[in-house]
Amino acid sequence: MKIAKSCLIALAALAAGVAFAASPHFITATDSINQVTGVLTCSWKEAGLGDNQNIDYKCEAQASATYVCVNNGGSNPSAKNKTNVTGEVSTTGTFSSGKNGAITASLSVNPPGPGSFSCPSGQSLELAQVSYTSVFIIDITDGVQEQLSNQSTGCLLPDVKGAC
């Protein structure tokens, strides 16, 4: 009985040691913006996760996008044919740490949509510019996060008169 009790105590101590051995932390964390589509990508390497662990991540930001209507002549014909959309954007994903206890991955976030804004017949709806602030990559599973850089496209439609 004493041997079994001693084994249980040793096993519990060993399990506690394993649980505390993992120390999740971001080694690198960067973000970038596609200068054509306005898509934001969060990329990272996180270590100290333990082997073969599934980790949930979230890339989130506050976003501001401008949409415009473009006519067949390549112009934004009036100030009323624009809308600014703001709000939080995010995406999530689950990745495995594999045998080395680390994850290198990326998640991409689309700009906020135009909502109910639409263009008159004969005009196309286009994204003119987008910016992201308060950008974070978050390890949801372990409660670890890293703030990333603010990103902006500038004008995506430099040849469209009145777009930006």
Amino acid at residue number 97: S
Q: Mind listing the pLDDT tens digit for each residue in 20-45? A: 448 999 999 999 999 999 999 999 99
Calculate the average pLDDT of the chain: 88
pLDDT confidence bin for 10, thresholds 50/70/90:
very low
How far is 92 from 125, CA to CA, in rounded Å?
28
How far is 128 from 157, CA to CA, in rounded Å?
6
Task: Tell me: pLDDT of 5 over 70.
Answer: no
pLDDT confidence bin for 18, thresholds 50/70/90:
very low
Over range 98-116, report the average pLDDT: 96
Task: Tell me: pLDDT of 16 over 70.
Answer: no
Burial degree of 34 (CB within 10 A; 0-12, 13-18, 19+): middle
Q: Mind listing the pLDDT tens digit for each residue in 46-85? A: 999 999 999 999 999 999 999 999 998 888 888 788 999 9
Over range 139-156, report the average pLDDT: 97
pLDDT confidence bin for 108, thresholds 50/70/90:
very high
Q: Where are the beta strands (DSSP E) in 50-96?
A: 54-70, 82-96
Answer for the pair 136, 62: CB distance below 8 angstroms, yes or no.
no
What's the pLDDT score for residue 6? 43
**pTM of the predicted model, to two decimals?**
0.84
Task: Give the CA dihedral 8, 9, 10, 15, nearest 10 degrees.
Answer: 90
Which residue segments constitute the domains of the chain, with CATH numbers given? Answer: 22-152 (2.60.40)
